[in-house]
Amino acid sequence: MLGLYSVFRAVSIFLRIIEWAIVAYCVLSWFRPRFKAFFLLRQFILPFVSPFQKLSMKLMRHFNAPVDLTCFFAIIAFQIIDRLWWRLYILLMYSVR
């Protein structure tokens, strides 16, 4: 079952990379950078963050808040997905026995 663990670990590492890329993008966006690496980072995280933009915009309008929480929602979602991913692994390990 080491192969199964390796697959689950690789996906978990990828989820962590996405989370840290979102955090790095958020921090860098405060300074309005103009270098190419920032735009490449933005292109990388955009597919992962864009599903949460609609929810963030609704909350911003409802509460009349000037803060975009899209990245915050994306990070929380990826953490939940990671935890569910490892629970699936545990369920698979117990079903094999």
Task: Note the pLDDT of residue 77.
Answer: 97
pTM, rounded to two decimals:
0.87
Low-confidence ranges of the chain (pLDDT < 50): none
Report pLDDT for 32.
82
pLDDT of residue 2: 67
10's tokens:
């690789």
Length of the chain measured in residues: 97
Q: Tell me the angle at which helices 2-29 and 36-49 cross, rounded to the nearest 10 degrees.
A: 120
- Residue 83 and residue 8: Cα distance in Å, rounded? 11
What tokens does 33 get?
């950078």
pLDDT of the residue at 34: 86
What are the residue ranges spanned by the domains of the chain?
Answer: 2-96
Q: Provide the 8-state DSSP code for 1.
A: -
pLDDT score recorded for residue 33: 85
Identify the pLDDT of residue 1: 55
Cα distance between residue 97 and residue 14, in whole Å: 28
